[in-house]
Structure 1
Amino acid sequence: MLTSIKSFFSNELFNTEKGSTADSSEHQLQLACAALLIEVAVIDQEFDTRELQALITILQTKFNLSAEECETLRTLAQSESEDSTSMYQFTQLVNSACSPEQKFELIKGMWTIAYADGDLDKYEEYIVRKVSELIYVSHSEFIRAKLAARP
């Protein structure tokens, strides 16, 4: 699976040179962030169209992707999320590659998706809190992100 993802990123999505470590790391980070965002959308067993639109908007804004690239990233991230047994692989990558501000923006994006369907489910709140703890976002920043994303 990892080989197909790397191949896809290098050949189709971004047309980068093969073997570029910086590009590969950036693509892995994009996939990890997208997978964590998808976790919020699917945790309540309903992937609402409003949540999907919020996800697409966040990915396009955060990573400056076209609609087609965004849809492909979403599909890959959803597959990766479904195949994953834990969030560790995603949160570990975020911890090693993201600044505190980028982590805040990720948590804010997760809250945005949680609020998108108009119903903040207890499982959505749980997953945002759990990721926040795993990527070492302080409680005050967790609350600030929640308030910033609240409609």
Structure 2
Amino acid sequence: MFERLFPRRKPDPKPLPQPDAQLALGALLVRVAMADRSYEATEVSQIDRILSATFGLKPLDAAKLRATCEALERHAPGTPEFAQILRDEIPYEDRKALADAMWTVALADGDRALDEEIQLLAIETALGLSDEDIAAARQTALRHT
């Protein structure tokens, strides 16, 4: 009887970690993959490979990081805040490489979606990449499809 009058509340979810370069990159990769409202297994696998290669993680650790990034992407700040973390912590040349990696996520499902391209442009701009480098990343990605 008391249960109906005073239902138990679910415990507060575990607080999300403060974003660092790993989490910011992962969240942006997830954001790109989800931009077309479809989150395919091929995109998830590509994100895991990028996180593993970029940060020297074992596959299981990369998958755990990606899962945290998925939660962070849903509840955390917008693209400019994540990009600022990367701008502060990662040299320009490495940010150019991140743009190339993001393109591989956008194209991993075999579909060239306008929503993903728009999201990518916003991220590349927020990362402080030049128009020439943004165009080069796009050209490189589209040549490999």
Q: Same fold (TM over 0.5)?
A: yes
The one-character-per-residue Cα deviations of 1:9-60 (angstroms, maximum 9, x if unpaired) are xxxxxxxxxxxxxxxxxx8111101111110111111111111111111111
Matches within 5 A, 1:59-74: 59-74=51-66
User: Who is 1:35 aligned against?
Assistant: 27
The one-character-per-residue Cα deviations of 1:61-109 (angstroms, maximum 9, x if unpaired) are 1111001110111011110000024122211101111111111011111
Say if 2:107 is the partner of 1:118: no
In 2, the alpha carbon distance for the partners of 1:130 and 1:143 equals 13
Say if 2:118 is the partner of 1:136: no
Q: Which amino acid aligns with 2:88?
A: S
Q: Measured at CA, do residues 119 and 4 of structure 1 come closer, stay the same or move farther in structure 2, by a change above 3 Å?
A: closer
User: Who is 2:6 aligned against?
Assistant: none
1:79 to 71, 81, 93: 71
TM-score scaled by structure 1? 0.80
Q: Secondary structure at the match of 1:33?
A: helix
Structure 1: runs of 5 or more not aligned: 7-26
Runs of 4+ in 1 over 3 A off after TM superposition: 1-4
Q: Cα RMSD (Å) of the superposition? A: 1.9
Q: Structure 1 vs Structure 2: percent identity of aligned residues? A: 25
In 2, the alpha carbon distance for the partners of 1:55 and 1:112 equals 9
More helix by share: 1
In 1, the alpha carbon distance for the partners of 2:16 and 2:124 equals 29
In 2, the alpha carbon distance for the partners of 1:4 and 1:128 equals 24
Larger radius of gyration: 2
Counting matched residue pairs gives 131
Q: Measured at CA, do residues 67 and 129 of structure 1 come closer, stay the same or move farther in structure 2, by a change above 3 Å?
A: same
Q: Which amino acid aligns with 2:137?
A: A
